[in-house]
Amino acid sequence: MGKFKYSLPRGTHDIYPGADGWEHDSIRWNVLEEIWRDVCRIYGYHEIRTPMFESTDLFKRSIGDGTDIVNKEMYTFEDLGGRSLTLRPEGTAGVLRAYLDTSLYARGGVTKLYYINEHFRYERPAAGRYRQHVQFGVEALGTDDPAIDAEVIQMMLAFYRRAGVTRFTIKVNSVGSTESRAAYVAALKEFVAPYLSEFSEEGKARFEGNPLRMLDTKNERELAILANAPKLTEYLLDDERSHFDAVCGYLADAGLSYEVDPYLVRGFDYYTKTAFEVQSPDLGAQNALGGGGRYNKLVEDLGGPPTPGIGFGMGVERVLIALQQLGVDMPLPPGPTAFVVTLGDSAKKAGIKLLSDLRAAGIAAEIEYGGRSMKAQMRSANDSKAKYALILGEDEVAAGTVQVKNMVDSTQEAVAIGEIVGRLS
Ligand code: AMP
């Protein structure tokens, strides 16, 4: 319940300046967005913005009918025209739909796109798990070159490092192809069948509906049984194995320490070959910072020409939670250059004029409205982290000067009002 009449929908949050929880602080969000856009510039990715909702069929077709997202977590509604629409639960499907719709695919070559997306999933809210969350992500379309698999993984890490995340684990796996997976799934089912009665209801349902997802369990009993299960990597076809070896080679060349996790499977059916996840020990139960993988059949499944692709998504809230846990703050933007403080009516008029002259010259400048005492205004100047307080009283107006107080070393001098903009530029 909110304090007033309406409350926030369950599992959502407001992002506003100076929130105590860093994942709710818009100032830190803005810094992360800047870092993200800069990383994308350095790696040569351009932004794509797609609608927040798409036709329900697009997600069913791409994410897969047997997945938790499609079965239990989608915000699906009928619009007034009777169409079934869904708030996007992930980023890849919409980007690929747009890649085809806008004919980006027809430009040929490799298309490298990034996004900043709100995603919606009807999950049970918990620390680090929301019903609306934001992901920074990329999709690189048009090549199966294993070097680009390593590029996107490095790009993710470049972002985490720049943001200040110092502790993480990189897990990589190959989930093969439809063909190799079919052989593996048969072997996995054969292995699990004698133990099936010991599995949870959810485990049993996965055995029937989406056997690979059995590997993603957190149930201790199931994990103990599965520890001896066959591994997907043993079933890879030659091309898949050499692709995976090449990816691992590039990662090693880049000096990255990564773990091969043969049981890493992700919550989407569309992955082929490379799958990866970055985990943080500072996140508690929801320990995934971000993840992604290759999807070489997806463009074709959506009606396009055969086009290999790879991408990832990183949860932004979780980066901020991890940073707060680590106690590592990113460099926050500075306060304004100037804070204008006035006493009396004529000083206020002169102060407002000075304020607009400063701003017109591109100098960040603030004032406190509401006519509070000079002491209160000086406190606000201090709280704003301004470099200089520009103080105007009746005497200064009469003399055509301003008291310029350096807020760092507390020195103060009188400067002619006409010279202020030049001094602070
Ligand atoms: P996924 O699209 O499931 O691969 O998720 C990619 C990343 O998005 C995860 O590693 C998380 O960091 C983040 N994420 C996924 N689901 C949620 C959620 N419900 N709330 C907050 N972050 C999420």
- Going from the Cα of 315 to the center of ligand 1, the distance in angstroms, rounded, reads 5
> If DSSP codes are grouped into helix, strand and coil, which group holds residue 421?
helix
- Going from the Cα of 99 to the center of ligand 1, the distance in angstroms, rounded, reads 23
105 in a structural domain: yes
| pLDDT, mean over the chain | 95
Note the pLDDT of residue 411. 97
> In a mutational test of the pocket of ligand 1, which residue from 160, 165, 286 has the highest number of ligand atoms less than 8 Å from its CB?
286
How many whole angstroms separate alpha carbon 415 and alpha carbon 404? 7
32 and 109 in a single domain? The answer is: yes
How many whole angstroms separate alpha carbon 413 and alpha carbon 411? 7
| Tokens standing for residue 148 | 């680009």
Residue 332: which region, alpha, beta or left (left: phi > 0; alpha: psi -120 to 50)?
beta
- Going from the Cα of 411 to the center of ligand 1, the distance in angstroms, rounded, reads 50
* Residue 137 beta carbon below 6 angstroms from any ligand 1 atom: no
CATH assignment of the domain containing 352: 3.40.50.800
Note the pLDDT of residue 296. 96
How many Cα atoms occupy the beta-carbon half-sphere of 39 within 13 Å?
25
310 and 348 in a single domain? The answer is: no
SS3 content of the chain, % helix, strand, coil (to 5): 45, 20, 35
Note the pLDDT of residue 1. 53
254 and 319 in a single domain? The answer is: yes
Overall average pLDDT of the 312-331 stretch? 96
374 and 277 in a single domain? The answer is: no
246 and 385 in a single domain? The answer is: no
Residue nearest to atom 18 of ligand 1 (CA): 129
| Tokens standing for residue 114 | 């990034």
DSSP run (H or E) holding 340: strand 338-342
How many Cα atoms occupy the beta-carbon half-sphere of 15 within 13 Å?
15
Answer yes or no: is pLDDT of 77 > 70.
Answer: yes
Overall average pLDDT of the 274-288 stretch? 94
Q: Could you tell me where the beta strands, DSSP code E, fall in 60-168?
A: 76-78, 84-87, 111-120, 132-141
Q: Name residue, tokens 């603030």.
A: 366
Which DSSP string do the residues of 362-406 spell out, in sequence order?
T--EEE--S---HHHHHHHHHHTT-SEEEEE-HHHHHHTEEEEEE
- Of 268, 302, 325, which marks where a domain is finished? 325
* Residue 129 beta carbon below 6 angstroms from any ligand 1 atom: yes
pTM to 2 decimals?
Answer: 0.93
314 and 343 in a single domain? The answer is: no
How many whole angstroms separate alpha carbon 172 and alpha carbon 271? 13
* Residue 97 beta carbon below 6 angstroms from any ligand 1 atom: no
98 in a structural domain: yes
68 in a structural domain: yes
CATH assignment of the domain containing 31: 3.30.930.10
Q: Name residue, tokens 């709100």.
A: 118
Is residue 70 within 8 A of residue 39, CB to CB? The reply is no
221 in a structural domain: no
> In a mutational test of the pocket of ligand 1, which residue from 15, 62, 75, 119 has the highest number of ligand atoms less than 8 Å from its CB?
119
The domain tally of the chain equals 2
The minimum-distance atom of ligand 1 relative to the CA of 137 is: 6
Note the pLDDT of residue 54. 98
- Of 298, 325, 352, which marks where a domain is finished? 325
pLDDT band at 413 (very low <50, low <70, confident <90, very high): very high
Overall average pLDDT of the 100-109 stretch? 96
- Alpha-helical regions (H) of 111-177: 146-163
122 in a structural domain: yes
Residue nearest to atom 3 of ligand 1 (CA): 267
308 and 353 in a single domain? The answer is: no
Overall average pLDDT of the 71-96 stretch? 97
**What are the tens digits of pLDDT across the range 79-90?**
999 999 999 999
298 and 353 in a single domain? The answer is: no
pLDDT band at 265 (very low <50, low <70, confident <90, very high): confident
10 in a structural domain: no
393 in a structural domain: yes
Domain carrying residue 373: 338-424
* Residue 123 beta carbon below 6 angstroms from any ligand 1 atom: yes
Note the pLDDT of residue 9. 96
- Of 284, 304, 325, which marks where a domain is finished? 325
**Range scoring the smallest mean pLDDT among 15-19, 71-75, 264-268, 310-314:** 264-268
pLDDT band at 269 (very low <50, low <70, confident <90, very high): confident
Q: Which residue, 101, 30, 87, 90, is CA-closest to 63?
A: 90
pLDDT band at 61 (very low <50, low <70, confident <90, very high): very high
Answer yes or no: is pLDDT of 172 > 60.
Answer: yes
Answer yes or no: is pLDDT of 101 > 60.
Answer: yes
**What are the tens digits of pLDDT across the range 12-51?**
999 999 999 999 999 999 999 999 999 999 999 999 999 9
| Tokens standing for residue 368 | 């406190």
Is residue 23 within 8 A of residue 132, CB to CB? The reply is no
Answer yes or no: is pLDDT of 285 > 90.
Answer: no
314 and 244 in a single domain? The answer is: yes
| Tokens standing for residue 258 | 């990564």
210 in a structural domain: no
Overall average pLDDT of the 113-120 stretch? 98
305 and 360 in a single domain? The answer is: no
Answer yes or no: is pLDDT of 382 > 60.
Answer: yes
89 and 146 in a single domain? The answer is: yes
314 and 375 in a single domain? The answer is: no
Quick one: angle between helices 56-63 and 92-101, nearest 10? Answer: 110
Note the pLDDT of residue 371. 85
Answer yes or no: is pLDDT of 344 > 80.
Answer: yes
How many whole angstroms separate alpha carbon 284 and alpha carbon 381? 39
**Length of the chain, in residues:** 425
* Residue 171 beta carbon below 6 angstroms from any ligand 1 atom: no
